[in-house]
Structure 1
């Protein structure tokens, strides 16, 4: 059962992008989950009055949330979404998995930009990395039939720029805070671009049933983590929320409405598991806008 969610910051295009992903991603659907109120908005939110606030995109049962907002932030490749085309999900047919991958690539590429050409690589017979027209990055990979099962959608953290060579430290930190389980862990045998010998070439880890990949960049990059892509973690009650918040928040000025930035720059939304019910209460949006860490009793 999915617990970790990926949130994508949309610059006023949330509903449009939701329809795009529902068409482009296999087995997908979308729904406008909430809308901005028409009163009580901050000045910068006024143009969004009545528009979609959150749009849920369901991809083979996994949820991605589009947060419709202003142009302050834009997704970048520091957090991409890896789509795992596993032949086991196609009755063992590599050809069927490959065909679905290619069809998805064609749709996501329309109006976008290739970051790594779709083709054969040492780690996969079919792989490509694309940034779509909404600046969201996707890695499409054809799994080997003998590979361990992984979810179809996996957020992928690329540690570069200010976070270069900190992937191993981050994985250890997430293991401590969330009880993450480590999966693959492959290191660079020698320096590769800005990646130091012994830094992480590829790793993945599980948060409950959800898998995340993490790696250090092997090429110089001038970007790193921003709120353009954030990770959402639901907590069962205020005590757990307080513990996770205190362990994760490292940038006080970034704290707002349940959002925080950790010591690596990754943005998280640490929220009550019953946030949907809380947001249905009268004036809940205004109450939330006045908080940094979310306090359940103040909704």
Structure 2
């Protein structure tokens, strides 16, 4: 049971505009699909979904994207573009962990950490990073243990802890790397108090081939988490997931079926593949 996992970014009508902007910054990038509701694109091997969901949810730095860039010239070019119209969270500078690093929130509200280094040392040029803060402060290690127990093909690659006295909040993990179904992730506990935590502004999509897989992930996340509509759910750590059938894109792209499938989907919490197919 190896399922694709990729991030979904919530937009208020400008998903395609943002996707074209991101694709212009990173070399190995392309648009895959553009519809009024969904824009799919790939940045340096990582798939993204841009969802035009409206003004209801906003992203915040609890989920950022850690980009390893191999030349200073390229890093500064990407940094300048992301920072234009955005907000610098940590200035581009030399730090203990990198000769050149910075954290920026772009004009669309999404957060990026740029670091000069070798992609081969990380395994992927762009990696989702989960920061446990706010109501989830200090829970990174427990969450990683949970995620690696849920996903069948998972491995914990690295965990680095804060030194004693380095933080005044409940924080243990300063940096962790792990893989879920061979998809790289990073995680950390915030070193300072934050007022935000995970939201629907950034969710993770799990593409499932069978109803058995949908049931498995849905039950794992909602056992101590919460159900929402249309395949969305939050786990016990507040992280949001979309557990969806891999056939959904095909159903929704068929002009003769899409309206009926969408109508059925809107009535569901956990998605039912057979009901969606028959609705079309």
Q: CA deviation at 1:15?
A: 2.0
Residues 1:239 and 2:216 are matched in the alignment: no
Cα deviation per residue 1:132-182 (whole Å; 9 max; x = unaligned)? 01000001111258x634211110000001000100000000011003210
Cα deviation per residue 1:192-243 (whole Å; 9 max; x = unaligned)? 02134xx111101011331100100001100000000001111230111101
Structure-1 residue corresponding to 2:29: 28
Q: How many residues align?
A: 268
Residues 1:6 and 2:7 are matched in the alignment: yes
Structure-2 residue corresponding to 1:65: 49
Give the secondary structure class of the aligned counterpart of 2:99. Answer: strand
Distance in 1, matches of 2:191 and 2:262, equals 42
Match of 1:266 among 198, 216, 239: 239
Q: CA deviation at 1:2?
A: 9.1
TM-score (normalizing by structure 1): 0.85
Residues 1:159 and 2:132 are matched in the alignment: yes
Q: How does 1:1-299 map to 2 (within 5 A)?
A: 3-34=4-35, 52-85=36-69, 87=70, 97-143=71-117, 148-179=121-152, 180-191=154-165, 192-196=167-171, 199-249=172-222, 250-252=224-226, 254-280=227-253, 282=257, 283-299=260-276
CA contact (8 A) 2:45 2:124 kept: no
Higher mean C-alpha displacement, 131-140 vs 269-278:
269-278
Give the secondary structure class of the aligned counterpart of 1:4. Answer: strand
Distance in 2, matches of 1:160 and 1:31, equals 33
Unaligned segments of structure 1, at least 5 residues: 35-51, 88-96
Q: CA deviation at 1:99?
A: 1.3
Q: CA deviation at 1:17?
A: 1.4
Higher mean C-alpha displacement, 176-185 vs 166-175:
176-185
TM-score (normalizing by structure 2): 0.90
Distance in 1, matches of 2:11 and 2:102, equals 23
Distance in 2, matches of 1:149 and 1:194, equals 28
Cα deviation per residue 1:9-57 (whole Å; 9 max; x = unaligned)? 00121122122212233332224433xxxxxxxxxxxxxxxxx211112
Q: CA RMSD in A?
A: 1.8
Give the secondary structure class of the aligned counterpart of 2:121. Answer: coil
CA contact (8 A) 2:3 2:207 kept: no
Q: CA deviation at 1:271?
A: 1.2
Q: CA deviation at 1:251?
A: 4.0
CA contact (8 A) 2:16 2:34 kept: no
Distance in 1, matches of 2:40 and 2:108, equals 16
CA contact (8 A) 1:235 1:241 kept: yes
CA contact (8 A) 2:9 2:50 kept: yes
